[in-house]
Amino acid sequence: MVQVLLVDDETSVVDALSIRIPWEELGVSAVHRAYSGLEAFEIFKLGQIDIVITDIRMPGMSGLELIKKITAVKFRTKCILLTGYAEFDYAQEAMRSQVFDYLLKPVSNDELISTVKRLIAQLKAEWDDISSYQRASNTLREHLPLLRNNLLQDLLQGRKMESLAFAEKLEMLKLPFTAESRICMLLIRMEGHFLNYNKQSMSLFEYAVFNITEEIMSADYDMWYGKDSHEYLVVLLKGKSMNPTEQSMSDNELLELRAEELQHNVELYLTGNITILLSNWTGLSENLSDVYEIMLYEMRKMIKGNSGIFKTVDISSQKVRIQSLQCLYEPPMLNQLLEAGRWEEAAIKVDQIMNELANKWNDSLEHINEVYYSLLSSFNYIAHKSGKQLIHIVGLKQLELEAYQRRSLEHFRNWAKDVLGLIREDLDQDNRNTNTIIINRVQQFVEHRLAEDVSLQAIADEVYLNPGYLSKLYKLETGENISDYIYRLRMDKSAYYLTNTHYKIQEICELIGYQNTSYYIKMFKKHFNVTPQEYRIQSVTI
Q: Domain for residue 52, yes or no?
A: yes
Residue 437 lies in a domain: no
pLDDT for 345 equals 93
Q: Are 116 and 107 in contact (CB under 8 A)?
A: no
Do 87 and 197 belong together in one domain?
Answer: no
Contacts of 155 (CB under 8 A, 6+ apart): 284, 288, 289
- In sequence order, the β-bridge partners of residue 186 are 235, 278
What CATH number should be reported for the domain holding residue 459? 1.10.10.60
Nearest CA-CA partner of 390 in 375, 404, 368, 402: 375
Note the pLDDT of residue 92.
56
Q: Indicate if 249 and 347 belong to the same structural domain.
A: no
pLDDT of residue 492: 93
Residue 189 amino acid letter: R
How many domains does the chain contain in total?
Answer: 4
CB 206 within 8 A of CB 233: yes
pLDDT at position 245? 45
Average pLDDT rounded to a whole number, residues 395-408: 84
Distances (CA, A) of 386 to 332, 382, 461, 477: 20, 6, 24, 22
pLDDT score for 158: 82
Residue numbers of the domain that contains 514? 449-541
Share of the chain above pLDDT 70, in %: 92
pLDDT band for position 98 (cuts 50, 70, 90): low
Mind listing the pLDDT tens digit for each residue in 1-53? 789 999 998 888 888 898 889 998 898 988 998 888 988 988 888 778 999 99
d(CA 322, CA 379): 26
Burial class (CB in 10 A: 0-12, 13-18, 19+), 435: middle
Report the pLDDT value the prediction gives residue 189, as an integer from 0 to 100. Answer: 94
Which DSSP string corresponds to 294-330? HHHHHHHHSPP-SS--EEEE-GGGGGGG--S-HHHHS
pTM of the model: 0.53
Report helix, strand or coil for 53.
Answer: strand
284 and 183 together in one domain: yes
In a domain, 162, yes or no: yes
CATH code for the domain of 127? 3.40.50.2300
* Residue 226 CB partners (closer than 8 Å, separation 6+): 148, 149, 152, 153, 233, 234
- Asked if residue 443 is part of any domain, the answer here is no
Whether 430 maps to a domain, the answer reads no
- Does the structure show a pLDDT above 70 at 343? yes
Give residue 532's pLDDT.
Answer: 94
pLDDT at site 247: 45
Q: Are 113 and 21 in contact (CB under 8 A)?
A: yes
CA distance from start to end of the chain = 46
User: What are the start-end ranges of the E strands in 2-128?
Assistant: 2-7, 28-34, 51-55, 78-83, 101-104
pLDDT class for 88, splitting at 50, 70, 90? very low
Residues 283 and 345 in one domain: no
Check whether 249 has a pLDDT greater than 50: yes
How much is the pLDDT for 503?
A: 93
> Whose CA is closest to 519, among 39, 36, 84, 106?
106
Residue 185 in any domain: the answer is yes
The residue-averaged pLDDT of 258-285 equals: 90
307 and 182 together in one domain: yes
Shared domain for 182 and 219, answered yes or no, is yes
